[in-house]
C-alpha cells in the first residue's frame, strides 16, 4: 500500500512540474500573440490608407531632404534632423502629404501624427 501511495505522489509531483513548465510557455505564447495582433493592426491601418507611414519613413525623408531639395514638416514644424524626433516611438504612424512645385518636383513633405497608440510598454 505504501508503494502505491508513493507512486501516486510521484506521479502527482511530476504532473505538477510538467504543467508548471507548460503554463510558463503559454504565457510566452500569449505575449507573442499580443505583439502579432498589434503589428497586424498597424499594418492593416497602413494598407487601408497609403498615406499612412511609420516613423522610419519620416526619418528617411528627413535624411534625404537636403539632397532632394525639399522641406520636411512634422506636425507643422520644420524638421531638418531625424534626431529631433525624440517625442515619438518607433511604432508611431503619420499621415504623409506632398506638395509639388510648378515643375512637378517635390517641394514640401508634411507628416501629421495619426496614431501613437501602437507604443510598446517601456
pLDDT tens digits, 50-101: 899 999 999 999 999 888 899 999 998 898 888 888 888 888 899 999 999 9
In a domain, 121, yes or no: no
Q: How many domains does the chain have?
A: 2
Looking at residue 119, what is its pLDDT? Answer: 52
Sign of CA dihedral 111, 112, 114, 120: positive
Boundaries of domain holding 106: 50-115
Give residue-wise pLDDT tens across range 6-65.
888 888 888 877 777 777 777 677 777 777 788 888 888 888 888 999 999 999 999 998
Looking at residue 121, what is its pLDDT? Answer: 44
In a domain, 122, yes or no: no
Under a CB-based contact definition with an 8 Å cutoff, are residues 88 and 95 in contact?
Answer: no
pTM of the predicted structure, to 2 decimals: 0.66
In a domain, 40, yes or no: yes
In a domain, 120, yes or no: no
Amino acid at each position: 500500500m505504501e508503494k502505491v501511495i508513493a507512486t501516486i505522489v510521484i506521479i502527482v509531483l511530476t504532473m505538477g512540474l510538467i504543467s508548471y513548465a507548460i503554463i510558463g510557455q503559454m504565457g510566452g505564447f500569449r505575449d507573442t500573440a499580443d505583439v502579432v495582433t498589434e503589428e497586424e493592426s498597424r499594418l492593416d491601418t497602413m494598407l487601408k490608407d497609403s498615406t499612412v507611414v511609420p516613423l522610419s519613413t519620416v526619418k528617411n525623408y528627413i535624411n534625404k531632404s537636403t539632397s532632394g531639395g525639399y522641406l520636411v514638416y512634422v506636425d507643422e514644424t520644420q524638421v531638418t534632423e531625424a534626431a529631433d524626433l525624440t517625442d515619438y516611438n518607433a511604432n508611431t504612424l503619420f499621415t504623409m502629404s506632398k506638395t509639388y512645385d510648378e515643375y512637378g518636383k517635390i517641394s514640401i513633405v508634411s507628416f501629421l501624427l495619426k496614431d501613437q497608440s501602437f507604443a510598446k510598454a517601456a
